[in-house]
Amino acid sequence: MLEPLFQGIQLFFTMDAVFAVLVGTLLGLLIGVLPGLGPLMGIILLLPITFHMEPVAGMGLLIAIYVGGSCGGAISAILVRIPGTPLAAATLLDGYPMAQKGRAKDAVGIAISASALGGVLGGIVLIFLAPLLARFALEFAPPETFALALTGLLVIALVSNEATSKGIMTGAFGLLISTIGYDQFANDLRFTFGVNGLLGGIHIVAMVVGLFAISEVIVQIKAGFFSRNPDVPWVRPSLNSALMVLSRWVNLVRSSAIGSFLGALPGAGGVVSSFTAYAIARSSSKTPEKFGTGFEDGIVATESANNATVGGSLIPTLSLGIPGDATSAVLMGALIILGFFPGPNLFEQNQDVVGGIFLAYMSANVVLFFAGIFLTPLFVACIKFKKQYLLPFITLLCVLGVFSLESSTFHLWVMLAFGIIGYVLRRYDYPLAPMVIGMVLGPIAESNFRRSLVISGNDYSFFIDRPIAATILAINLVLIIWMLCPKGWKNRLLRRV
Amino acid sequence: MTSNSIRLGRFTGRLPGRLIAPIFFLAIAAIVFWQTNTDLVEKDIASGSMQYNAAFVPEVLAIVLIVLAFFQILQAFRLADANLDTSASEADEEDETPTERGLALRSFVALVFLAFYIFAMRPLGYHIATPLFLACLFVLLNVRNLFLVLGLSVGISYASAYVFGGLLNVVLPAGVFEIAPF
Amino acid sequence: MTLKSKFSLGVATIAAVALAGSAAFADFPERKIQNIFPWAPGTVAHGVSQMIAEGMSERLGQPLPVVATPGAGGVKAFNTALAAPADGYTIFDGYVAPLVISPMFGRADWGCDDFTPLWSATSNAFAIAISPTEERFTDFPTFIEYLKANPGKTAYNGNGLSLPHMVSAKVLQTLDLVSRPVPYDDIELGMKDLRSGVLDWLVVNPGVYNANKDNLKILVTLSELESVQRTYDGADRALDFGIDLGISGLAPMGWNWWLVRKDTPEDRVAVLRDAMEATINDPEVRAQIEATGFVLTEYSPDQYSDVCNSARAQLESAKDAITWEEEAVKAAN
């Protein structure tokens, strides 16, 4: 287990590789902060740079961008209520209210520390449990993946606690949007109306930036006070928020475990794990009512989970050659381009490279931890700007971030449309987070459901004959019954337990 | 503003306001059914067993939307009825002061600027459209110092182009004047 | 208003200065060239196109980003590139699916000769593989025997109107075998399901094969070329079992040819062609590309029309195979 690590030491501890990880983490953090650009786009745009680098340095740079980028989105979510990446949509729930209470420093600090610590825990899972989890991931055929995606969709209802029916509506809307484009099972286009831009479907980033960022710009303009100096105190680097995260170690460990586990299963990814960790943290909390009001545990859960997902997603990517999510798929492509084929052979023949990659991943999280301590004051200082300067700049960043997805203005129209939709939905208290979950899980749920039926020749017993799929489906059923249960019954049941 | 439009404004702030979202979702559901019964039928992908039926999942979701939208509409009317007498205070809250109306107008204008910007980006090119757009926004948000407006618009636009076009190698529109420093 | 008019005057001045500056260097290319890539970003195929683009960029003195524009089997990318001016600043990454297959099924209305070719880029040959622990069949003849005895009972990765599914359907039709095609977003996901026993056999490309050599056994390559045999470590060809697949050359493979719009000025086309030719002959670039399992095809621009049209004619014969398979699967279940 530790063998690759020892072998990787001399590959990783070179000037180039360490420097690449340092730069990559900070760059990733910045890319995450910018609305639109996330770790995925960041890696894709910077991939050509790695062509001429040593493999471990090149992979180190990309993995560090992934680590930093998975965290950076939280910062803009907390400070300006704009999730820099879809990953941070869950962090918004508690991060922004906390900043509104004048605790922006704490919120950002907690988010970065929780990300770094969650990432380290995910790394430990990666190093010690990779073979085990990889074997488990192999058990996840289409029926299991479908069942798990369904669980993720039920999380929608859990996340939108007070407004369940509104949450289901926005969730269903997100699912519907994900059906736009080419249907590979029917071999034809759905809901594209002859528009070229829709042939590839709606890009989730364009949707998220519109829903959250553009709608927020509208809200901020409507609120006025353009030239008022924001009342944000200067803050100094401190270890406080890291300690706050550590004092919530149960939540930290649990959420990181959820993150790395879901990361290791192909298909799920960071968005789902952060929402799931959030829902579980809330339902197992003694003070569930504090969630959503700026509660430390909310940020710890989401951020540790989505960074632990990074470590988890590297498990099937490296050991099976099957990417855990879209971003690790790109990492896998990069590794092949650098001359190494991920998969079982990699662990046998190139232990040093595997070890170097592990070390790069762990180091990126360490860099992130210190970045949290020293850079938080800098990030918080950004919201010291007056709105009249900040809002145009943010709008331009949204435009550029979305434009760079495909160098296309079509996505900008999508962003604008969802900005208006997002504003209207927010105005009437429809939660936006379920839309993001629906959009992410929609294709996974639908395609694996239909794929299962194709494989089994339209035989539904396929779902029940497979033990893991049947178990997850049973759990889903219990969850549904629980949610439909009248409140009085639930309370009586809980008291008896 | 006539008193009529103010009353209308107050009206939209209350009951019909709450109906906007449900009606929007109903419209989405209607589009789904319209498509699954025309376009998808023509393509012959709206029937057969579930795995090859492209219409199945969207229709299920559309039905969910319809049911819940009606539930929301019902609730909106119930709330409106219940609040009939006590709604005065709520109505006052919804009543927009002239400043609020002005701000609402400004947010609308900002969206119009954004739409024009997106529209003009290809033909004019990034390096002309962006400073113009930024300058309009700055002016809209009460920045009155001409030099500041000019300097910030051009500066931010150029610096962002350097990061996205130069460092990240994104192809920014060059426009008819073919301006592409990065 | 005066503010705005002053402002636009300022911008116009800046624009005029910039324009005057650029007019002094009127050589092509004077700004970024983009390659519109039809598949998802970050894939190995994307990386390979980026390698060629990098080499060309060095020679042209301008960046050449490869912009991934996935959608509708590559048709979105082609439409996007067609909408750009024919000034040589937009290159089509002309993959066989959008270039040849989509028009065959009425999803697009262009033909090979509607574009001006640069050099051909790469190819990617497919093979039929099974799990090494598979006991029901161990080689191609027993595989055929088993599928014949169990029509419609086995499943493999086959994705609609795309490669490699068209080729595998053609093979099955030729041999009169029925197996259920299961759509997957990529071969890697199918690989996972082969390992977990959900799929019975798999059509692979060299990338997946190289990454999973211990978990794959190649039964037969879907090309008659010996170079492809070498890619798959000397695996048998269908030809070696006396089976004629009815398609040969580039037709049973994935391939791409870099193209520009038909009405692009000739001098610009020449500049691009020279840069691409030099790049694909650069030993360093070649080594880098070949390490990924992709093969450089090296067809020159004047061979384009023949190669593309003959591939199209051959794939035309595989077209019914998809419909045949659909009906055969329905009948078998």
Q: Which of residues 132-171 of B touch C (CB under 8 A)?
A: 132, 135-136, 139, 146, 149-150, 153-154, 165, 169-171
pLDDT of residue B33: 97
Distance from CA of B128 to the nearest CA of C (A): 7
Question: In this complex, is the C-beta atom of C287 within 8 Å of any C-beta atom belonging to chain A?
Answer: no
pLDDT of residue B182: 82
Instruction: Give strand pairing partners of C120.
Output: C257
- Inter-chain touch A428–B100, beta carbons under 8 Å: no
Does position B89 have pLDDT exceeding 70, yes or no? Answer: no
Q: Which of C24-38, C244-258, C280-294 shows the lowest per-residue confidence on average (mean pLDDT)?
A: C24-38
What are the pLDDT digits (tens) for C169-182?
999 999 999 999 99
Give the residue-averaged pLDDT of C207-234: 88
pLDDT above 70 covers a percentage of chain A that reads: 98
Does position C262 have pLDDT exceeding 70, yes or no? Answer: yes
pLDDT of residue A55: 87
What are the pLDDT digits (tens) for A135-178?
888 888 899 999 988 988 887 777 666 677 898 999 999 999 99
Chains interfacing with B (3 or more CB pairs < 8 Å): A, C
For chain C, give every residue range classified as CATH 3.40.190.10: 127-249+320-332
- Inter-chain touch A184–C159, beta carbons under 8 Å: yes
What is the pTM for the complete model shown? 0.89
For chain C, give every residue range classified as CATH 3.40.190.150: 30-124+253-299
Question: In this complex, is the C-beta atom of B15 within 8 Å of any C-beta atom belonging to chain C?
Answer: no
Neighbouring C-beta atoms of residue B172, cutoff 10 Å: 25
Distance from CA of A382 to the nearest CA of C (A): 28
* Spacing of C-alpha C240 from chain mean position: 26
In the predicted model, what is the mean pLDDT of chain A? 89
CA atoms of A403 and A411, how far apart (whole Å): 7
Q: Which of residues 79-98 of B touch A (CB under 8 A)?
A: none
- Inter-chain touch B65–A169, beta carbons under 8 Å: yes
Q: For chain C, how many residues are written?
A: 333
Kindly give the residue spans of alpha helices, DSSP state H, lying in C115-262: 140-149, 165-175, 187-195, 206-211, 226-231
Which residue in chain C has the smallest CA separation from A192?
C72
CA atoms of A131 and A315, how far apart (whole Å): 8
Phi-psi region of A435 (alpha: psi -120 to 50; beta: other; left: phi over 0): alpha
pLDDT above 70 covers a percentage of chain C that reads: 92
Question: In this complex, is the C-beta atom of B54 within 8 Å of any C-beta atom belonging to chain C?
Answer: no
Cβ-Cβ contacts under 8 Å, B57 against chain A: 175, 179, 446, 449
Domain boundaries, chain A: 3-496
- What CATH topology corresponds to C127-249+320-332? D-Maltodextrin-Binding Protein; domain 2 (3.40.190)
Note whether A67 and A328 are within 8 A (CB).
Answer: no
Place of tokens 């962090």: A91
CATH code assigned to C30-124+253-299: 3.40.190.150
Whole-complex ipTM: 0.88
Does position B6 have pLDDT exceeding 70, yes or no? Answer: no
CA atoms of A486 and A477, how far apart (whole Å): 16
- Inter-chain touch C7–B169, beta carbons under 8 Å: no
Q: Which of residues 110-169 of B touch A (CB under 8 A)?
A: 110-111, 114-115, 117-118, 121-122, 130, 133-134, 137-138, 141-143, 152, 156-157, 160, 164, 168-169
Note whether C52 and C278 are within 8 A (CB).
Answer: no
Does position A60 have pLDDT exceeding 90, yes or no? Answer: yes
Question: In this complex, is the C-beta atom of B174 within 8 Å of any C-beta atom belonging to chain C?
Answer: yes
CA atoms of C288 and C37, how far apart (whole Å): 19
Angle at C133 between CA C132 and CA C137, to 5 degrees: 80
Give the residue-averaged pLDDT of A42-65: 89
- Inter-chain touch A173–B25, beta carbons under 8 Å: yes
Distance from CA of B4 to the nearest CA of A (A): 23
What are the pLDDT digits (tens) for A79-99?
989 888 888 999 999 999 999
Which residue in chain A has the smallest CA separation from C73?
A182
In the predicted model, what is the mean pLDDT of chain C? 88
C153 vs C21, more confident: C153
| Mutant choice from B143, B149, B168, B179 vs C, greatest count of C C-beta within 10 A | B179
Nearest CA-CA partner of B130 in A331, C7, C5: C7
What are the pLDDT digits (tens) for B93-107?
455 677 888 899 999
Does position C22 have pLDDT exceeding 50, yes or no? Answer: no
| Mutant choice from A44, A178, A196, A411 vs C, greatest count of C C-beta within 10 A | A196
| Mutant choice from C79, C182, C184, C330 vs A, greatest count of A C-beta within 10 A | C182
Kindly give the residue spans of alpha helices, DSSP state H, lying in A81-195: 92-98, 104-138, 142-159, 164-178
- Inter-chain touch B131–C11, beta carbons under 8 Å: yes
- The three-state secondary structure class of A339 is coil
